[in-house]
Structure 1
């Protein structure tokens, strides 16, 4: 199997037949061996019926239907577990990603030996205020935080080596940061390709402004996980040492002052430095406890089912 095309979707029934025909045309004209895997993320329209019909007439089409809407990251996770291709292409189902980009993305993986190639929608057909400006700010922050020099982290059109998708864990809403997850897993040869972006033909976007707020929160999460995910005690322990040292320094000062310089003065408990000392030492202790708990959680973590699949098509 040469190429696996993974397509997560939510309520895109109108575009699926056209997208399927377009992908098949590209695959056949380039004589690729392929599979197309649709992941229906809890659609409430006719999407699953369309996928079912396509799978019956073409064995290259496979499908996964979630019991309800679990999110794009979970859909990609489920798809990545099932794919068998040497090169995996992800794309959205709304016809805004152009399947004609697939051959060049395939070559960049197989001939230029990139681990991952991310699309860059240099010219977009989205609303400037609602999507373009927030996207530019989001991508700038992601570059500065992660060290991965991409212009468009959230482009759905990406290509991967099979090893990459089998060794990264896409969860929560981390689909925006798959290149960062790949880098953290050791796949550092990450490329970028300018891809054609097209105006939405059917329906409306499923994403609102809240996705950018969530995106920045996820960015903080992945920054923390990248630096301290495997050693939480290094962060919380360091903060604990700093806070406890501040508290101990105040306590030591109060003790010396009371014993040698001002024995007849106010009681230690009547001085504000006493409460600063007490609070900072308590906070320092709490940071230490947080670090220990983080280490315990890390060592006891087990794989958990993050979604429920209702039905599979053409999958063993």
Structure 2
């Protein structure tokens, strides 16, 4: 099968007929073999009933229905598991992503051998309350991930080699950082394509301001797990050692100062009267705790079933 189109949706009953018809027309015009996987994330507006109706007229449509709303990451992850295409395309269900972009995305994966091609909505039809925070997050993600050639990590319109989606796991709000997950999994040929961003035709956006806070926390999680997931002691142990020795050297300084004053008949103050005493105490305690945290994290890591799971591209 050439292409799997994965579409997560939540209360998008009005847009589904037009979207699926548009996708099918593009596929037929380009003679692609395909499937459309519609993942209903707990809709309450009749979206699932519409999917059933559409499926009777189009055997290439497949539906997955959640019992409740789990979020876009869960919907995408489930769609990736079900996808059978050599190339997987993701797009939103609100008609703001154009299916006319599919042939070029497919060509770049199939012919230019990209692992992932992410859309860039250079001209957006969103309010400033959404575009400005998005630009800040994209800048932070580029800085932390080292993927400097992407302008819009969160664009819903993306194309992947099938093997990529089978080797990444998405949860929480991590759908915003799929290129980062792909890079950590060893898929480093990541490209970008300018795509059309259409005004929303039906309904209203389902995302609130809380997504920016959750997105930032997930970015920190991705960075930490990707870099130190299999060696947590290197992170906690280093911080703990630095903190402990900083406290130790401050303690030595306080003792040395007291001995010097005693030897020269100078006024000797109590250690507790010196602010450095409390700084040293906190540093030693914090360092010990961080070091012990590293030991515990290392034990957990070594006991995990994924401790020796690595991405293998090929064997002969």
Fold agreement, TM-score > 0.5: yes
- Say which SS state the counterpart of residue 31 (structure 1) adopts: coil
* Conserved 8 A contact 2:261-2:268: no
- 2: distance between equivalents of 1:7 and 1:112? 24
Tell whether 2:281 aligns with 1:278.
Answer: yes
- 2: distance between equivalents of 1:215 and 1:84? 29
- 1: distance between equivalents of 2:91 and 2:228? 31
- Say which SS state the counterpart of residue 191 (structure 1) adopts: strand
Give the aligned partner of residue 62 of structure 2.
62
> What is the Cα deviation at residue 260 of structure 1?
5.0
> What is the Cα deviation at residue 172 of structure 1?
1.1
Give the aligned partner of residue 98 of structure 2.
98
> What is the Cα deviation at residue 69 of structure 1?
0.7
- 2: distance between equivalents of 1:271 and 1:104? 69
> What is the Cα deviation at residue 125 of structure 1?
1.2
- Say which SS state the counterpart of residue 14 (structure 2) adopts: helix
> When the two structures are superposed, what TM-score results if normalisation uses the length of structure 1?
0.91
Tell whether 2:150 aligns with 1:147.
Answer: no
- 2: distance between equivalents of 1:66 and 1:239? 43
Cα-to-partner distance string for 1:70-122 (whole Å, 9 max, x where unaligned): 11111111111111100000000000000011011000000000000000111
Q: RMSD in angstroms over aligned alpha carbons?
A: 1.7
* Conserved 8 A contact 2:173-2:211: no
Tell whether 2:244 aligns with 1:241.
Answer: no
Give the aligned partner of residue 208 of structure 1.
208
Give the aligned partner of residue 311 of structure 1.
none
Question: Which shifted more, 47-56 or 168-177?
Answer: 47-56
Give the aligned partner of residue 39 of structure 2.
39
- 1: distance between equivalents of 2:302 and 2:169? 17
Question: Which shifted more, 105-114 or 273-282?
Answer: 273-282
Tell whether 2:242 aligns with 1:252.
Answer: no
> When the two structures are superposed, what TM-score results if normalisation uses the length of structure 2?
0.91
> What is the Cα deviation at residue 231 of structure 1?
1.9
Give the aligned partner of residue 297 of structure 1.
300
Cα-to-partner distance string for 1:114-133 (whole Å, 9 max, x where unaligned): 00000011111111x12222
Cα-to-partner distance string for 1:209-255 (whole Å, 9 max, x where unaligned): 32223222222222222322332211211110111001111222233
Give the aligned partner of residue 136 of structure 2.
137
- Say which SS state the counterpart of residue 153 (structure 1) adopts: coil
- How many pairs are equivalent? 302
- 2: distance between equivalents of 1:171 and 1:297? 20
In structure 2, stretches of 5+ residues that fail to align are 307-316
CA shift in 2, pair 1:277/1:192, >3 Å: same
- 1: distance between equivalents of 2:274 and 2:121? 61
> What is the Cα deviation at residue 190 of structure 1?
0.4
Tell whether 2:81 aligns with 1:78.
Answer: no
> What is the Cα deviation at residue 280 of structure 1?
0.9
